[in-house]
Amino acid sequence: MKSTVSLARAGSYDGHELLERMRACLAPLGGMAAFVRPGQRVLLKPNLLGAFHPDRAVTTHPSVLAAAITLAQECGGVVTVIDSPGTGSLASVARATGIDAVVRAAGATLGDETAVETFETPGNIIGRKLTLLKAVADADVLITLPKLKTHVQMTFTGAVKNQLGLVPGVQKGQYHFRLQNRLRLAELLLDINRTAKPALAIMDAVYGMEGNGPSGGEPRFIGALIASADLMALDVA
């Protein structure tokens, strides 16, 4: 079976326009209803690396999150938004990036990045036991909302790498330091994804970022949303 990766033109972050472009992007995958059923606890995981203004193109744009919340709520999902920023608290980063206002307006919940749980996944290579945010265990469905960016260590950071943000606090930096061989770090990223089991990725590629990522590059207009249930296929595409 081949995987489906859907790419839709999205020329701006205008709220209504972006919502309709995301709806169109998900249509070839069966729409959001293929992933979210009424009453399910839906965990949305944007890239909230740090307290960067959305125009810097470092973090997932709040309009992308707003559209994903709307579509999940239309299907009857109960939405929580979570990430563990590289610097600063989730609350402070959410305010700086415009995410907090979107969460409040939608009646969604900002998760607790201090609550953690240890997961054991026998098939993992590096992280047989992983400490991740407890919100992963509490959710019925995990949907990841990555930002399309370059990365100084991994060359590229997209759908698969976005789940590194499920690792709490400073442990992310420790992994980057310990696993300086990119293939070893890639194995860890696959371990995290095998454990967290994201059901869907919707990538913010309206504006990407190129240069010394994950935060030191420049915005680059791409004009797209990209979605797939196969995160590796999305990243390859």
Per-residue model confidence (pLDDT) at position 188: 92
Task: Determine the Cα–Cα distance for residues 69 and 67; give it in Å rounded to an integer.
Answer: 5
Per-residue model confidence (pLDDT) at position 173: 66
Q: Picking from 7-11, 106-110, 121-125, which range would have the lowest pLDDT averaged per residue?
A: 121-125
pLDDT tens per residue, range 14-31: 999 999 999 999 999 999
Task: Determine the Cα–Cα distance for residues 81 and 79; give it in Å rounded to an integer.
Answer: 7
Task: Determine the Cα–Cα distance for residues 157 and 108; give it in Å rounded to an integer.
Answer: 27
Q: What phi and psi values does residue 21 have, to the nearest 5 degrees?
A: -70, -35
* pTM to 2 decimal places: 0.95
Is residue 180 very low, low, confident or very high in pLDDT (cuts 50, 70, 90)?
Answer: confident
Residues in Cβ contact with 39 at an 8 Å cutoff, skipping those fewer than 6 apart: 76, 77, 78
